[in-house]
């Protein structure tokens, strides 16, 4: 069963990629052929909205185009261990800290290889070194989920602010659970 069928409003955080021993989960641009093929019915409205954004030029802007990804599972390689979905902070929510200080979001942050960044961050934090992680709230939730729902004291979180304007650009961001 596809992750998109179990995870409403996948935001492409990439947490589900990390625990898969078979490398069976990959992130694709939300408007890619692969994503469209697997987007289930409950995503149809979002997909239509994304197409509308693209048609009107908003979703297709440099800042937004292809910025958001979705997780697609290669069912042929999957042994149905469920680890991917259990570490998904949408499927299995984690509490995230309240922040007083915020950092400005830049589209360049979307180009990062997040699964690799989570792994490197956790490795460094576990070695006891001072470690900093810069990410949106969904990425912070992903990191916390992957780290057993814990944030060690030497891991400093620097949250990127998703403005209302940014949230409006992405269908899944409009349904964001991390901004109340």
User: Which residues of this chain interact with ligand SF4, rule CB under 6 A?
Assistant: 3, 7, 10-16, 19-20, 22, 24-25, 71, 73, 78-84, 88, 90, 136-138, 142, 162, 167, 170, 172-173, 176, 178
CB of 177 to ligand SF4, least distance (A): 7
Closest separation between CB of residue 5 and ligand SF4, Å? 10
- CB closer to ligand SF4, 36 vs 83: 83
Chain CA centroid to CA 176, Å: 11
What's the CA gap between 143 and 140, in Å, rounded?
Answer: 5
Nearest CB to ligand SF4, comparing residues 88 and 157: 88
Tell me how far, at minimum, the Cβ of 129 lies from ligand SF4, in Å: 26
Nearer to ligand SF4, 50 or 172 (CB): 172
What would the 3-class secondary structure string for 120-153 be?
HHHHHHHCCCCEEEEECHHHHHHHHHHCCCCCCC
Q: Closer to ligand SF4 at the Cβ: 154 or 177?
A: 177
**Rounded least distance, CB 98 to ligand SF4, Å:** 14
Shortest separation between residue 96's beta carbon and ligand SF4, angstroms:
9
CB closer to ligand SF4 out of 62 and 153: 62
Look at residues 59, 150, 146, 47 and name the one whose alpha carbon lies nearest to residue 97: 150
Whole-angstrom distance, CA of residue 14 vs CA of residue 95: 18
Task: Give how far Cα 124 sits from Cα of 73, 89, 112, 129, Å.
Answer: 28, 22, 18, 6
Distance (Å, rounded) from C-alpha 112 to C-alpha 135? Answer: 10
């Amino acid at each position: 069963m596809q992750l998109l069928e179990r995870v409403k409003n996948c935001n492409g955080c990439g947490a589900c990629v990390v625990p898969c021993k078979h490398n069976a989960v990959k992130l694709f641009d939300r408007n890619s052929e692969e994503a469209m093929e697997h987007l289930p019915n409950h995503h149809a409205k979002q997909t239509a909205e994304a197409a509308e954004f693209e048609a009107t030029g908003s979703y297709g802007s440099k800042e937004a185009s292809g910025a958001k990804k979705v997780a697609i599972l290669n069912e042929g390689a999957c042994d149905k261990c469920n680890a991917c979905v259990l570490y998904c902070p949408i499927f299995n929510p984690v509490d995230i800290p309240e922040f007083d200080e915020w950092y400005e979001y830049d589209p360049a942050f979307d180009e990062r290889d997040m699964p690799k960044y989570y792994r490197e961050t956790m490795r460094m934090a576990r070695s006891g070194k001072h470690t900093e992680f810069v990410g949106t709230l969904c990425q912070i939730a992903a990191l916390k989920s992957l780290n057993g729902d814990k944030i060690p004291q030497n891991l400093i979180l620097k949250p990127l602010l998703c403005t209302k304007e940014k949230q409006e650009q992405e269908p899944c961001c409009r349904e964001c659970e991390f901004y109340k």
